[in-house]
Amino acid sequence: MIKLLPIIAGSGFCLLFFSCSDTYNVCASSVYVAMNSSFYYASSPDPITPASFSVSTIHNAPILSNVTGKSSFAVELDAASDTFKFVLTLPPAVSDTITVAYTSQTHVISADCGSITVHTLSSATSTNHTVDSLKIITPLVNNISAQNLRVYL
């Protein structure tokens, strides 16, 4: 029995040490959650790059200002609300107000790593001044950079 004691103690230590390690690097996952949108022409399957664009809140607080050379943008959704309204401006055209409706849910990454709030898009509408239409591509807005919304011009 005395000879087995070090083996049992060593096995117990290994079991305890390795069972608590983050073998899948879960804590290295991004905690940034944003709705990813891309620009398209209704007549083309390929994304387009506008000369410039800006995104602001409906109270004129800038989110993105005079962005050039980009065919997409990302905005964070508010977990305390079920809708998000923002203004999209593509100069020199008239600005559009875009409204996105969604539900939110807390997703626990792990006890050590914390949680994130994910959203599920249910609808998207626009005032249709410059924007022709909107299409939800991937309803789940999470920490994976998937295209969620297409903005057709």
Residue 67 within a domain: yes
Residue 72 covered by a domain:
yes
Residue with more model confidence, 107 or 55: 55
Instruction: Establish if 100 belongs to a structural domain.
Output: yes
**18 belongs to a structural domain:** no
The single residue listed with the structure tokens 């990813």 is 36
Q: 6 in a domain, yes or no?
A: no
- Residue 17 pLDDT exceeds 50: no
Position 29: which residue type? S
Q: Report the percent of the chain where pLDDT is more than 70.
A: 83
Whether residue 8 is contained in a domain is answered as no
For 91-130, letters b (16+ CB in 10 Å) and e give eeeebbebebebebeeeeeeeeeeebbbbebeebebeeeb
Domain residues for the domain of 64 are: 28-152
Tell me the whole-structure pTM to 2 decimals.
Answer: 0.80
* The pLDDT of residue 47: 96
Tell me, yes or no, whether 22 lies in a domain: no
Residue 2 lies in a domain: no
pLDDT greater than 90 at residue 88: yes
Q: Among all chains, which residue has been given the structure tokens 């007549």?
A: 43
Q: pLDDT tens digit string along 132-145?
A: 999 999 999 999 98
Tally of domains in the chain: 1
